[in-house]
Amino acid sequence: MRKVYFLLNFILIFQSCSSDENSSKSDFNVPQWLQGSWRQAEGVTFNFTPNDICSTYAGEGQCQKQLIDFARKGDMTVKVVEVITDNSYSAEIKYSNGQSTTYAFKKISNNSIEWTNATGSVFIKQ
């Protein structure tokens, strides 16, 4: 009986370590050409890191990684589906409650991108 107890504890510890490792894996894999800060004339700014998409408007900022982590802490399932090419990037964030958000960008040049969710919204690299 004692051996079974230790075996079960070992399995539980191993599984908890494994799930921690999986949860630290990034949902976003932002391509190098998109990383950095991009600003639109109307004051909207996107800041892309290798593993996050952040936006700021009128002084209010929001990062997707933080929102996803918060949802998961509330037992919501979140899935991020990315499509990455040499000239475009999109990330669809799907929540288990049926909501979804999509961010899609097209490279115009090394210094400008278009936010394709809002046609004609051009951002300049800062």
Average pLDDT, the chain: 83
Is 6 within a domain?
no
- 55: in domain: yes
Domains: count for the chain? 1
Residues 45-54: contacts with CB within 8 Å, 24+ apart? Answer: 45/126, 46/105, 46/115, 46/123, 50/26, 51/26, 51/27, 52/26, 52/28, 53/28, 53/91, 53/103
In this structure, is residue 33 part of a structural domain? yes
Residue 74 pLDDT > 80, yes or no? Answer: yes
Say if 3 falls within a structural domain: no
Token pair of 15 as six digits: 């599984």
pLDDT above 90 as % of the chain: 71
pLDDT at 72 over 60: yes
What the block records as the tokens of 89 is 């990037």
Residue 77: inside a domain, yes or no? yes
- Report d(CA 23, CA 28) in Å as an integer: 13
Q: What is the CATH number of the domain that holds 69?
A: 2.40.128
pTM for the model stands at 0.77
Please check whether residue 114 lies inside any domain of the structure.
Answer: yes
- Domain coverage including residue 49: 26-125
